[in-house]
Structures are given as C-alpha cells and as structure tokens.
C-alpha cells in the first residue's frame, strides 16, 4: 500500500517513477563528484574552479531534492541512500586522489555530456507519461546544458 | 609526492588523516540518510520532522566540508565519492521505502548514538597527533550531541 | 470592446479564459479555506499545522494572482469577487466552527484531490488553445501536487 | 463546548464576538474587492493605482487576520469562508468587468466611507464590552481613515 | 529624591508604579518559566513546542523591558532582580526536572490564565491613574490573550 | 469646501484639528532643535549625545508625519511650513551657537517637560472629540516620556 | 570548429540558433528603446512611466542574457553588438527626441505587439527543433504578454 | 573662541561659512516645503507625487546635514532653527492649505529654479575660498538639477 | 530514569552536570543583573552604559542557553527557574534602586571578577570529566574575560 | 522648444550636450561589447573573465544612465538608440564569434585606452562650459582608469 | 618597464605618484594608530571612543585602498609594507602602552591636524598634474576634516 | 600599575603576553603584505588572486584584532604600531614593486609556512600558561592552515 495516491495512472506512475529515480541517482552522484573535485583540485586555476565546483554542488543538491520530491508527489518512494547511488548512478567514475585543474574540467565536460544524454532520454520518455514531470526535466536540462557550455568553454585553449 | 606539505609529522599525519577520512564517510552518509528520511517520512508528525531533518542535512554537509578541508590542510586527499561512502561509513543502514515518523526518530537516535561513539574515539586518537584536528572534532561532537539530545527527547512519550 | 487585444484567436481566448476563470475561483477559495482552518484549528498538532496552513494561504494567493493576471493578458476580465468565488468554486465546502487537527488534514487531502483533478483537466484543455497558459497550469499543478503529497503523508499513522 | 476559555463574561463575549465577525467579513471583502480592482483596472493612471490597490490588499488581509485571531482569543470561532463573506459583508457590491481608473477611485471612496462608519459603530459597541478589542478597532480605524483620505485626495481634480 | 520627575501626580505615580512592578515580576518569571520548559521538555511534540516556547521567551522579555522602562519613565525604580522575581511573581510554580510535552502545554495554559487575570486587573487599576500606562497594558494583554488561545487550542484533543 | 470628508462632526473636527496642528508645530520644532544641538554640540560626551540626538530627530520627524497625516485624515489641512513652526511652536527657544554637552542635555530635559505637558493636555482634550486621535496622542506621549526619562537620567551626576 | 558541442542535431541547432539570435536582437533593442523612452519622456505621468520603463529595461536585459546564454549552450555564438542589433532588430523604430507620456505608452503597445508575434512564431518553430529552447520562449512570452496587457490598460482612457 | 580650528584662513572661513549657512537655510526650507506639499496635495496624480515628494524630503534633509556638518568642519556654527530658516531662506513662500497636484509641480519647478541659481552662485563664490566646499556644492547641484529636470518634465503636457 | 542517554560515564556526568548547573545560575543571574542596571542607571554616561549593558544581557542569555542545552545533552535536567537562580547564583547581590553610572561599572567589574574565577574553576574540573564541556567553558570564559577588560578599562580615570 | 530649461547658457549647453551625447554612445557601446565578450569568451580563464565582464557591463550601464540623465538635466535630449550607438560610438569594433580569453583581455585594454582618451578630452572641454558636468566626467574617468589598470595587469605574463 | 600605461605624461605621473605614495603611508599609519588607541584606551569614556576609533580604522583602510589603487591606475607601484609606513609616514608618533581617554582624543586632534595640512598640500600639487587624482584628494579631505571636527568638539570641556 | 587585573598568575601573564604580542606583529604584517600583493600583482591570474588576497587581508585583520584584545584581557598592553610591526614581525620580507601572479602565490606559500610554525610553537607555549589563549591560537591555526593549503594547491602545475 502506498503512502501517496498518485495523480497518474499506474502505468504512467511506473514510467515516471523510474525516470525520476534514475535522475535522482545521477544528480546525487553529481553533487558528490563535484565536492570530491572541489576538495582534491590543484593547479594555477585552483581558486576559480574551487568556487565554480561549489556552485555545481549547490545546484545538483537542489535538482536532486526537486526530483525526489516529485517522485514522492506521484506516489513513488525515492531512494537516495549511498549504496543506491553507488550502484545505480550512470555517471563515469571520478578518479581517486589529488587531481589537476585541467583534468577536473575535462572530467566534468565528460560527466555533463553523459548526464545530459540521459536527461534528454527522460524528457522523451515523459512525453506521454506525465506533462508535469516532463516540464520539470526540461527545466533541469536547461540548467545542466548551461553549466555544460561553461565547462566546455573553459576546457579549450 | 603530495600536493600539500603537512604541518604534522608523517606519523601524526597518518593518524589524523585516517580519523578525518572516517569522519568524512560517516558525515556524508548522515547527510544522505537524513535526506532519505526527509523524503520518505509519513505520519502525523510529518511536517515538524521533515523540517528538522533538513536542518540535519544542512549541518551534516557543513561538518563534512569542514572535515574534508582539514584533511586537505594536513596533506591528506579526502575521499567523499559515493562508492567510498557506501563502503566505509560506520552508520547503521537506513531502511528502504516509506517510513513512519516515530520509526524515523528511533533510527536517528540509534544513528547518532553510533556516530557519537566514533567521534569520541577520534577525539581521543587526536590527543597526541594534532591539537588542531582534535579541537575541530570536539566542536563537531558538541553539535552532534546536542542534536542527539533533541531526537532522544522527541523519542519518548 | 475589450481593454486588451488578445494574442490568441477568439476561440482559443474563450477556451483559455474559461479555464483561467475556473482556476481563479478554485484558488481564491483555497486561500480562504486554508485561512479558515488556520483560525479554527485545535488539537495537539495545532502549532505545526497552523504554520503549514499559512504557507498554503500565501501560495494560493500567489497562484490566484498569476492566474488572474494571465486572464487579463489574454483579454479576459478576471472575476475574483466573494459572490463569484462562493458560487463557482469547485472545492468541497469547508465545515463550520472549531475543527480538530486530524480532520483539517483529512479535509485538505480531499480538497487538494479535487483541485488537482480540475487542474489536470485544464492542462489538457489548453493543449491546443494556448501553450503559454498550459505551461502556467503545469507549473501550478507541480506545486499543488507537492503540497498534496505532504498533507497525505501527514494524514497517515 | 468551546475550545477557548474566554477572558470575557458571556455577555461581553457575545457582543465582542459579533462585532469581530462583522469586521472580519467586511475586511476579507475589502481584500477581494481591491484585488478585483487591481486586475480589472484601466486608464492612464493604471500603474499608480494598480500598485496602490495591492497595498490595500496586503493591509486588508493583515487586518482580517488580526480580527479573526482576536475572535479566537475571546473564544469565538471566526468564519471567513467565501459563502459567509458573500452573504454578510456590509460593503457595496463591486461592479463586474473592466473598470476605468477614475471610477475605481470613486468606488473605493464610497467603500471606505461605508466601512469606516461600521468600524466606528463597533468602537462604540466595545466601550463596555472589552477594552482590548476596542483598542484593536481604534488602531484599525486609524489606518482605514488614513487610506480613505488618500483615495479622497486622489478623487478630486 | 527621585532621578526622574514623574509626569503623574504622586498618588497616580504610586498606583501605576505598583502595577508596573507587579507586571515586571510576572513577565520576567514568564520568560524564565518558558526557557525552563524549552530545555526540559520531552515527548513526540518536542520540536514544535520547543520552538514555540522560544517565541514565548522572546515576547516575555520584550514585554518586561517595555514595562520596566515605563516604570522608569514615571519616576519609579523597577526591580527585576532574581530574588525579587522569586519572591513576588504571581505565576504558579513550574515543576522541577524533565517534563512531558502535554504537561508543558497544560501548565502554560494555567500560567497564562493567571497572568491574564492579573493584567486585566491592572488595566482597570489604571483607568484613573494613567491613560498612557493603561494603553500599554491593553496592548500587552492583547498579545498574551492571543498566545493563551494558541496554547489552549493545542491543549485539546 | 474641504478635500476630505471628515469622519467627525464639525465641532469635533475643529477640536481635534487644533490639537493636531499644535502638536505638528511642536514636533517639527523638536526635530529642528535636536538637529541644531546635534551640529553645535561640544564637550567630552560629544559622540554619545551626537548619536542620541539623531535618534530624537528621526523619532520627531516620524511623529510629525503621523500627526499631520491624521489631520488630513479628519479633513484638516496641516501646516508645517517654517514660518508657521517659528510662530506657533510651544517649545522654549534653543540657544544660538556652539553649546556644551551638559547644557544640551539640560535644555532637552526642559524642552521635553514642556512638550509632554502640552501633549497630556491634548490627550484630555480628545476625550470626547475623537477616540482615534486620542489613541495616537497616547502612543506618542509614551514615546516622549521614555525619551524624557533618558535625558533626565543623563542629566544627573 | 565550434567551442561548444551541441546537444542538438546540426539541423535543429541551426533552427534554434536562428530563433535565439533573432530574439536576442529584439530583446536588446527593447532594452535600449525602453531606456531611450525613460530618458526622453515628459508629461503629467512622467514619474510613473519613468519608473515603469526602468522595470522594462531590467526585464529585457535579463531576457536577452537568458536567450544569449541558451544560444551558447547549443553551440551557437550569440551576437549582441550594436551594429548587429541596429541591423537585425524586428522592432519598430523609436522616435527621436523628447516624447510625450501618452505617445510613449502607445509606441510601447505597438512594440510589444510586434515582439509578441515574433516570439509566438519562434515558439512554433521550436516545436520539433528543441523542447528546452521552446520552454524558454514560452516562459519569456508569458512575461512579455503580461507587460503588454499593462501598457494596453494604461493606453485607454 | 571657536570650538573648531578651521583648516581655512579667516577670510576664506567667512566666505565659505556664509555660503554654507545660506545653503543650510534653503535646504531645510526645501525639506519643510516638500513635506507640506506631501500632506496637502490633492488631484488625480496624488499618489505618484505624494511619493515623489517624500523622496525630495529625504534628499533635502541629507543635503542639509551635509552642509551643516561642513560648516562645523570649517569652524562655523551652523544655524538650522525654525526662526532662522523662516527669516533667511531664499525660496519662494509655499501657499497655505490644500493644493492641487498640477500646482504643486509648478511651485516646485519654480522653487528648484530659484534654489539652483543660488547654489551656482555659491559654487562660484567658493572658487578661491575652498576647493573642498566647492566640490560639495557641485555634487549637491548635480542632484538638484536632476530633480529639477524631473519636475519640469512632469510639468509639461 | 533519564530522558537522555548520557555520552559520559555516570561519574563524569555528575561532575559536568554540577558545573553546568552552577554556570547556568550564574549566567542567568548576570542577565538579570545587567538588565536591572540597564533600567536603574543614571549619570552623565547614561546612554553609553545603557547600551553596553544591553549587549551584556544579550550575551549572558546566549551563554545561559548554551550551558543549559549542554546539560540536557549530557542527560542532566537544567534548572533555570527564578527561585533556583535566586538561591544558587554565586554572583554578588546587586543594589536596590537607582544607581549612578560609575557605581554600575564598579559593581560589574566586581561581578565579572567573581564569575570568571568560578568559570576557571569549572574549566579545571572538566579536565578529566568531559573535553566537550571543557571546550565550551573555555570559549565562554574568553568572552567573559573580554567583557571584563572593557569594564575595567572603563572603571579607571 | 525644449522640455527642460537649461541652467547653462545656450553656448555652454551645446558644448556640454555634445560631450554628454558622445559619452553616452561610447558607454552604451562598452556595455554591449562587454556583454558580447561575456557570452563568446572561451579559454582556461573563462570563469574569472566571464564574471569580470559582467561587472564591466553593470558599471557601463550605470555610467550611461548617469550621463544621459545629466544631458536631460541641462536641457539636451539624450539619444541611446541602437542605430545611434552603432553610428557614433568611438570605440573599436569588437570581433565576431567565439573569442579566446587572452584576446578578450587585449581587446578590452585597447578599448579602455581609446575611451579614456575621449573622456579626458571631454573633461577639458568642460573646463569653461560646466563645472557640474566636468565633475561627473572626472568621477567616471577615475572608475574607468581603475578598470583599465586591472585589464592591463591581467594582460601581462 | 611598467605594468600599466599611464594616462598621464611622465612628469605628471611622477608628481601624482609621489603625492599618492605619501598619502598611502599617512593613511595606513592612521589605520594602525587608531587600532592601537582602540586597544590601549582606558577611562570613563572608554566604550564611546573605542567604537569611534573603529570607525576611524575602517575609514582609513578604505581611504588607503582608494589611494593605492589610484597609484596603480596611473602606472605607479604603491608601497604599503610595514617598513615603508614606519619610515615614511608623516604622522606624529603614537605613545606606547595604555593611554587615557582624554589623551587619546588630544593625540588624534593633533594627528588629524598634521594629516589635513599634508592632504591640502597634495590637493594644490595636483592642480596641474591630474584633475582626477585631485578630485580624489578633495573627497578624502572632506571626510578627514569632518572627523577632525568631531575629535575637536570632543576635546573641549 | 596595570589597567586590567589579569586572570592569570604574573608568570603566565608574561608567557601568554609575549606569545600574543608576537602573534599580533605577525598577523598585522600578514594583513599589510597581502594588501601590498593585492595592489602590485600582475599576470593572467590577476583577478582571481586579487580577490583571494583581499580575503586574506580581511581574515588577518580579524585575527589581529582577536589577538590584541586577548592581550588586553589578560592585562598586557598590545603594540600594533607600524614601527613595532616593522621591527618585530617574523614573516619574510615582501619584495618591492610590481610582482607576477605565480611569484605572489609562491611568496605567500613561504609566508604561511613560516607563520604556521610560529603559531604552533605558541600553541605549545600556552600548554601550561593559559588554556583560553591556547584555544584561541588553535582556532587561528586551523584557519591559517586552511589558507595555506589553498595557496599550495594553487602553487602547483
């Protein structure tokens, strides 16, 4: 028995729930990855990228919260526990230990590339399932693509 | 070769580094656990505990950041990636799915109990290794014990 | 003669205008209902729900304002007078007099359920009439479904 | 059986309760009337009066809240539901549809005139019933008479 | 010889001074009682009432300050020392040790009941002595009766 | 013909209007006197009294505004022009040129003494004329008597 | 070779890029036109419209920034240089020199009318090209149509 | 004997002191005139001009304070008492009683015209006397001429 | 049976509990003493010391809260009731009635001297009992010794 | 016939008007150029310069507003339309398309160099025409030369 | 080779550079002197002057920053190192150790006297060298002369 | 005779006083050194390091204030005059003139290294002398080691 009565049909609830749970894992992982980079970064661009990464962390946490509360609102229990994130995130693994500034930027470019592909697939999957969840994914993707642009611009000499 | 020259002797650097890395895993896990509870909670006390848990999340994130940056400051690369947290956190596992308000409070009481024991052991371990890190752990423990009191008070009829 | 030249065709203006006027009555009624509950509430959960209801009031007033100004923007005079709201709101009647905390939550769960159904019908009705008004309804519905989840979570032991 | 033990004698509780309930209906109606005008207004003075009316709305909502909570405090359940306001407000009916700026000002001058007469009668009625409620009405009337002056000043060429 | 020349006749100065000193003891006691409850509270409603009590503390401190400075303004030295409060407060004694949430609410309902009776007697005593001090007491009583309502509403199942 | 229709009878309008006009002159004069002292002050207590006087200026300006807008609200044109203030203020003349700190305090003690007597007479004059204006004078007098106490306390060794 | 890898196919990138560049020129022109009116305005409604125009300027600058950064995010270099705006803006030319208040309002009504038509065409053009850019145009158009209503309301006697 | 040792020669101190005292009287008068208009204004433009006049009041008070403190800084006791302002202000007399909006604007245009002529004469008089005081007058005049423009723009149909 | 499970051994809980309860009485007394002085003060330094004492009050209240919540956190019920403070505070009695500025400063110097001795003894008592409580006392003592310096500096000619 | 009566002679009005109009074109162009660079920038220093350029935009917009309102204040209609800026700006043309970080800095160094020469010529031209406008140009030039220093410092290895 | 291309001729760059470097040493010294007094002050006026001195510190630091950045802007490397300040400040030496309140004021009066003479000489030296730097010195001197007045006023019984 | 009665024994007062005076010189020097670098910096990383250095300045000033006020609190007169700092700071001399970004970072790394060694020696020296001063040094060192880490991370390619 569910705690929340879904405003969606059972089929759409499952489609939307799966997309939201996937997005939740990816976004919580992004928040942890960006903090990891924030702490382990070195190189002449340290300060600028250190600050930029904290903005990524703050944004990723907010996106994750939005996505998880949307899951709850359609009657799906969101799972954001460490083991779940570790197992199900679709983002590339982040390297261990101290990491140079240029490499951090390159890794984030790759990470955003993967994440945006996954988000755009979720937008499509929502086309028939739920207009409200789709609109939320569209809004998130706009933000992610903006951040992606900035890391790409920063990644070119 | 390390990025940061430690203000500590190599032996003390290792002792303090281990304690800080352990605290980092625990505290990041606390932040994820409290968010999980924040989203999956139900029961008549929903709103009050929902808000309280977000304060726990905010505090745990700040504590984790302090601890990770202290590790960097003594020349130890902090590791806060999802897989590391999932593997090395010392906190009890948090149950899956929707969870009743009273049970959330009970789980948090247990979680804080375990965490505080681990932090007090770290305070002792720092006695000879590093007064600065010890002071940081003492300050954190004061906050955690205060939050522990509140969940205990809330856990009794 | 209208004060405002509509950016829509006359047919779409009428479809969108009707949906917006309906939403306006519902949302102003929600703001009055929630204030009524805020004042007449009693029971052990008084303070928590008293505060929660004021957040509902604030949100409902903002939603109503958005909806009414959208009506004006498409050349439809919005009607938010007491007699109109009393006559045309689609929300269930709110009981008279002092009311217990648990019952307030149950009544709001029912109220949100009805309102969300009506809003989802309006989203559909806008599909061909006006993408801008539809987007506004989608955004509102996301908020209402989030509040609905919270009252449901609070309504279960 | 009442939820709240009145600090007044039963007779005074009834006198004060009636006056407060009357004021509540009038003030909620004022808030809806001013919003209606805010949305339907047109004419060269649109922007200035549009902003002024939102200040009236904000003030009227605050006054209504004060009055309703005073009713509760003396053990009288306040009634601010749309049907009650529609039935019992003493303010003149506000015209339907788009409305010219000069006419809005004139209607508000008339509305304030009626409202202030009703409030001054309530001040007198409280003379023996309750000094605390009387003081609250006196404070409100001061504000209403100040707003009345401004609309009158604006209503003359 | 007094530090401050009273704007009142000697007789009225004494009447008003006595009422103000009595109110000062009561209100400082209320601030200490509410802090005591804030710290010693337990039970499922802990967090909500813990926060509510801090609002009572803040309000009571502000009221006490207003009353004491009014005493000074009419040429009467206010006495707010611990021994004076302990000796002369008219509020019921607050129980020792940890205290359950429901009992805290019940004790506060009783405490406000007593305090409001005493304040209403002071309003009457001021009728002839000083309109300025009377107005101050009326304003304070309005606030206290509002808080009393809330604790009563919270005290009923 | 007046711009504003008075809520008072013609007789009461005249009584209240005269009292308000008198208060306006006194309070504008107080604001100018306190600025004059603020600029011309010298002595070891310069900084402390310089700041205190600016608080008097700010308060006096606010009081004057309140009083003038009350006059307008009852249909009486307020007169706050320099020549009117110079002619009709009831405050003692302030000495020319640089002025020692102790003397400033003594002059303000005298000034407040005169002003408060005049305000208390106005409170009485309002007893039958207008409860709303009377309440405004009572509130103002409370503030003035508080400031009077402070200057007196500062005026004694 | 482009700085930014587009999340869109080359065809869609070109369609969206063209629409975004067109919107950028229009919106920068709107910001310059509104400032021009802000400075050259005269007439009895000067202050009210002077302030309103600055809100238009602020909004138009924000819209332009959003649109330009979206272009960059899809891999299209935005062009907001004066010569480009002068050449490619679709808004009507704004008259030279001092300009009367009523005429400013009429010119802005015409300008918004043209701009909204162009924006609605861009919404349609995005239907297949990019849902994210479309959503951005829908949000912008909602704001522009709201501002359009206000200038129309202000433009009628 | 002066309280303050002037940084200027005695001759220049006198020239600058005279100019500053003249400016002080004018500016205090402007602040009283604008408040008088703020209170006595009527007409369709009431609200807009009522707010504009309060900005004039605030600015004029700040200018007067700057000028008076500059006088003190060069060893000249500033005189801002009501009688001095009444006697020595160079501004045209402001009419008694209620005053129409258009006439208020016209009076202020005239007043600013006179004041700016007097300020420009003071700028010239400072050429040799004191560069610091001159710079202060130049800054003030820039502000006054900006306000003058606005009232002129508002004064033309 | 205690509400809170102490993180300390029973022996250390008792030692720390006693020290915290003693500090609580002293600090609440300090807050009441400083308010008493704030109200009863007179002399040429009135304003400066009146403000300084309010800072002492605010600080003392915060310290008391910190200490009481630490007691609760180690499982000891804090007692801050008026009778307890009156009985157990270790601070010197504060004189009755109006009190001269110089004497207030002297009394506070004496009071801080006594309090700091007591706090330093508590720091030592915590050496083995609880590092967390000790750190809290050290932090508080740093603040108290800073305030002590300021009153001493103010106490010498 | 002009809207605004100039405080300057006709000759000086023309000299000052020409200088102000020239400055307006240059400064609006600077604001558009800096936004263009803000959007099209790439390279390792992306984030730092992206933020710096937005500060330039904000400053340039403020300067342009100051200059345009000064023109109005001396009776000269300012012209800030896109076509006028495109035609009359004295700044070097900014390159099309994406642009590398180092090149952006170099282009801005060149741009500021040209602009400052033009502004210094305007300061001289004002020597006899208008001290108020001259002072405004001097203040602006101080800001521009400070920004110029920063870009130069950033432009050297 | 210089980092910054000066907007001044080489001769003027040297004259202005020398004046700015002199002012920098003086102002940094003022900031250190005022902090020294802030810490070592004693006497009955302790609190008032302690606060006043911190305002002097804040102002002096801001002035020094302005002056140093102006030096950089004209291509002169500013030198604000401790040894340079110690060697080249023109301010009188500040006495060692604790210092009485009256003596602090007297020393600051002397210090400001010296500093203002030096600043006025720098204003003259800039007459031909650089109008921008001169304007900056005039603005600073206005502030310093205002602070000088206040210390003088405070220095007289 | 000292102004302040030390809470420490004479021996401990001397030990703590010496350590605090040493720290004061070092920290004031750090604040001057960082400002010097802030002004004289050049290179592609100019903006980022320019901002970072201002954070160092702000922090160092706050640390110095804390240390100096602690000295006063234990009865030791702190000495922060330019000559004292120049003579007794233990930091390496900062080079004269313009300085490249990479070199600034390297110099700061060296400076922090020296300073932290000195601070750690002071922590040890306080072990027996004063727990309160020791705790203050520990807190400061934590901050300095964090800043040290950042400059080191920035100092490596």
Predicted confidence (pLDDT) per residue in J47-72, tens digit: 999 999 999 999 999 999 999 999 99
| Structural domains of chain A, count | 1
Q: Over chain L, what is the mean pLDDT?
A: 97
pLDDT band at I3 (very low <50, low <70, confident <90, very high): confident
Q: What is the dihedral of CA G7, G10, G13, G17, to 10 degrees?
A: 140
* pLDDT surpasses 70 at A37: yes
Q: Is the pLDDT of residue I118 over 60?
A: yes
For residues E121 and B9, what is the distance between their CA atoms, to the nearest angstrom? 73
Cα separation, C110 vs C135, in Å, equals 25
- How many angstroms separate the CA atoms of B134 and B149, rounded? 22
Domain of residue E69, CATH code: 1.20.1260.10
What angle separates helix B131-154 from helix B46-73, to the nearest 10 degrees?
Answer: 170
Continuous segment of H or E residues that includes residue G48: helix G46-73
Q: What is the pLDDT of residues F100-151, one digit of tens each?
A: 999 999 999 999 999 999 999 999 999 999 999 999 999 999 999 999 999 9
- Specify whether the CB–CB gap between J145 and K74 falls below 8 A: yes
Contact H41, H101 (CB under 8 A): yes
Q: Please, what sign has the CA dihedral across residues H54, H60, H61, H66?
A: positive
- Determine, for residues I153 and K42 on separate chains, whether the beta-carbon distance falls below 8 Å: yes
**K106: pLDDT strictly greater than 90:** yes
d(CA I123, CA D114): 69
First to last CA, chain K: 56
Nearest to G156 among D43, D47, D48 (CB): D43
Q: How far is CA G105 from CA G94, G100, G152, L145, in A?
A: 12, 9, 8, 61
Q: pLDDT, tens digit, for every residue of F23-79?
A: 999 999 999 999 999 999 999 999 999 999 999 999 999 999 999 999 999 999 999
Q: Which of chain E's residues have a Cβ under 8 Å away from the Cβ of B150?
A: 46-47, 50
Given a cut of 70, the residues of chain D with pLDDT beneath it are 1
Structural contact between residues D49 and D104, judged by C-beta atoms closer than 8 angstroms = yes
What chains are in contact with B, requiring at least 3 Cβ pairs below 8 Å? A, C, E, I, L
Backbone angles phi, psi at I124, to 5 degrees: -65, -40
Are the CB atoms for H136 and H119 separated by under 8 Å?
no
Question: Is the pLDDT reported for residue L3 higher than 90?
Answer: no
| Chain K interface residues (partner L, CB cutoff 8 A) | 2-3, 28-29, 32-33, 35-36, 39-40, 42, 61, 65, 68-69, 71-72, 77-83, 85-87, 89, 93-94, 96-98
Looking at residues K88-93, what average pLDDT do you find? 98
Helix (H/G/I), strand (E/B), else coil: D79: coil
Whether I4 maps to a domain, the answer reads no
- What chain D residue is nearest to E155 in terms of C-alpha separation? D3
pLDDT band at H2 (very low <50, low <70, confident <90, very high): confident
Enumerate residue ranges in chain E where pLDDT < 50.
none
Q: Which of H120, H142, H149 sits opposite J4 (nearest CB)?
A: H149
Say if CB F68 and CB F78 are below 8 A apart. Answer: yes
pLDDT at G6 over 90: yes
The answer, yes or no, to whether I and F have at least 3 beta-carbon pairs within 8 Å is yes
Partners of residue E152 in chain C, C-beta under 8 Å:
42
Return d(Cα A35, Cα A29) in angstroms, integer. Answer: 10
CA distances from C3 to C6, D102, G108, L129 (A): 9, 15, 16, 82
Is residue C1 included in any domain, yes or no? no
Positions in chain B short of pLDDT 70: 1
- Domain-embedded: residue B144: yes
Residue F147 domain-assigned? yes
Write down which chains contact chain D via at least 3 CB pairs under 8 A: C, E, F, G, H
Res H1 pLDDT > 70: no
DSSP codes of every residue in E114-128: HHHHHHHHHHHHHHH
* Residue K139: closest C-alpha in chain J: J139
The shares of helix, strand and coil residues in chain I, as percent rounded to the nearest 5, are 75, 5, 20
Q: Using the beta-carbon criterion (under 8 Å), do A81 and B33 form an inter-chain contact?
A: yes
- What pLDDT was estimated at residue C1? 56
Taking residue H127's Cβ as centre, other Cβ atoms within 10 Å add up to 10
Q: Are the beta carbons of D87 and D21 closer than 8 angstroms?
A: no
Buried b / exposed e along D129-155 (16+ C-beta atoms within 10 A): bbbbbbbbbbbbbbebbebbbbbbbbb
Q: Are strands K41-42 and C99-100 parallel, antiparallel or unpaired?
A: unpaired
Please report whether residue C136 resides in a domain: yes
Residues of chain H with C-beta less than 8 angstroms from the C-beta of D156? 42-43
Is position L3 within any domain? no
Q: What is the DSSP letter of A81?
A: -
Torsion sign over Cα E89, E90, E95, E99: negative
Task: Work out the percent of chain J whose per-residue pLDDT is above 70.
Answer: 99
Interhelix angle for C131-154 vs C46-73, to 10°? 170
Tell me the angle at which helices E131-154 and F131-154 cross, rounded to the nearest 10 degrees.
Answer: 100
Q: Per residue in D62-75, pLDDT tens?
A: 999 999 999 999 99
Q: Evaluate whether residue G1 is within a structural domain.
A: no
C132 and G145 within 8 Å at the Cβ level: the answer is yes
C49–B100 C-beta distance less than 8 A: no
Strands D41-42 and C99-100: unpaired
Mean pLDDT by 10 residues, chain C (157 residues): 87 98 98 98 98 98 98 98 98 97 98 98 97 98 98 95
pLDDT, position D12: 97
Nearest Cα of chain L lies from the Cα of J61 at a distance, in angstroms, of 21
CB atoms within 10 A of CB J37: 25
Q: Does position L55 have pLDDT exceeding 70, yes or no?
A: yes
- CA dist F19 and F118 (Å) reads 9
Contact B3 L153 (CB under 8 A): yes
Closest-CA distance of chain L to residue K68, Å: 7
Task: Tell me if there are at least 3 CB pairs under 8 Å linking chains K and B.
Answer: no
Report the Cα–Cα distance between both ends of chain L, in Å, rounded.
Answer: 56
How does strand B99-100 pair with strand C41-42?
unpaired
pLDDT at residue number K2: 72
- The pLDDT-based confidence of A80 (bands split at 50, 70, 90) is very high
Would you say J122 and L8 are in contact if contact means Cβ atoms under 8 Å apart? no
Selection from I113, I117, I114, I119 nearest residue I67 by Cα: I119
Size of interface F-I (CB pairs under 8 A): 27
With beta carbons less than 8 A apart as the criterion, state whether I119 and L7 touch: no
Cβ distance J43 to A154 less than 8 Å, yes or no, reads yes
Task: Please tell me the pTM assigned to this model.
Answer: 0.97
Distance CA J131, CA H124 (A): 10
Cβ separation H3–K113 shorter than 8 A: no
What's the 3-state SS for chain B? CCCCCCCCCHHHHHHHHHHHHHHHHHHHHHHHHHHHHHHHEECCCHHHHHHHHHHHHHHHHHHHHHHHHHHHHCCCCCCCCHHHHHHHCCCCCCCCCCEEHHHHHHHHHHHHHHHHHHHHHHHHHHHHHCHHHHHHHHHHHHHHHHHHHHHHHHCCC
Residue H5 within any structural domain of the chain: no
Indicate if the pLDDT at residue K125 is higher than 90.
yes
- J13 has pLDDT over 90: yes
Give pLDDT tens digits for G43-86.
999 999 999 999 999 999 999 999 999 999 999 999 999 999 99
Alpha-carbon torsion G54, G59, G65, G71, what sign?
Answer: negative
Contact present, L32 and K82 (Cβ < 8 Å)? yes
Q: For residue F17, what are the domain limits? A: 10-89+97-154
Whole-angstrom Cα Rg for chain J: 16
What is the rounded distance in angstroms from the CA atom of residue F49 to the CA atom of residue F42?
9
pLDDT at F124: 97
pLDDT in tens, I14-69: 999 999 999 999 999 999 999 999 999 999 999 999 999 999 999 999 999 999 99
K16-57, pLDDT tens digit by residue?
A: 999 999 999 999 999 999 999 999 999 999 999 999 999 999
The pLDDT value recorded for residue G157 is 87
Q: pLDDT tens digits for L111-139?
A: 999 999 999 999 999 999 999 999 999 99
Q: How many residues does chain C have?
A: 157
Q: State the chains in contact with G (3 or more Cβ–Cβ pairs under 8 Å).
A: A, C, D, H, J
Q: How far is CA B88 from CA B24, B56, B115, in A?
A: 10, 21, 13
pLDDT of residue G68: 98
Q: I134 to chain B, minimum CA–CA distance in Å?
A: 10
Inter-chain touch C7–G135, beta carbons under 8 Å: no
Q: Is the pLDDT of residue H3 over 90?
A: no
Got the DSSP string for L66-122? HHHHHHHHTT------HHHHHHH--SPPPPPS-EEHHHHHHHHHHHHHHHHHHHHHH
What is the Cα–Cα distance from G95 to G113, expressed in whole angstroms? 17
Query: Residues D39, D40, D44, D48: is their CA dihedral positive or negative?
Result: negative
Q: What is the pLDDT of residue C104?
A: 98
Per-residue pLDDT reduced to its tens digit, D15-47: 999 999 999 999 999 999 999 999 999 999 999
């Amino acid at each position: 028995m569910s705690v929340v009565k879904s405003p969606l049909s059972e089929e759409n609830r499952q489609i939307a729930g799966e997309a939201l749970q996937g997005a939740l894992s990816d976004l919580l992982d992004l928040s942890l990855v960006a903090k990891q980079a924030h702490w382990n970064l070195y190189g002449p661009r340290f300060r600028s990228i250190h600050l930029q990464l904290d903005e990524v962390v703050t944004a990723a946490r907010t996106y994750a919260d939005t996505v998880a509360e949307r899951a709850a609102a359609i009657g799906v229990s969101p799972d954001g526990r460490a083991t779940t994130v570790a197992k199900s995130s679709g983002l590339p693994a982040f390297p261990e230990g101290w990491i140079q500034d240029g490499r951090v930027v390159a890794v984030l470019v790759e990470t955003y590339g993967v994440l945006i592909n996954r988000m755009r697939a979720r937008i499509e999957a929502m086309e028939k399932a739920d207009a409200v969840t789709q609109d939320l994914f569209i809004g998130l993707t706009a933000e992610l693509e903006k951040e992606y642009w900035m890391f790409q611009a920063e990644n070119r000499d």
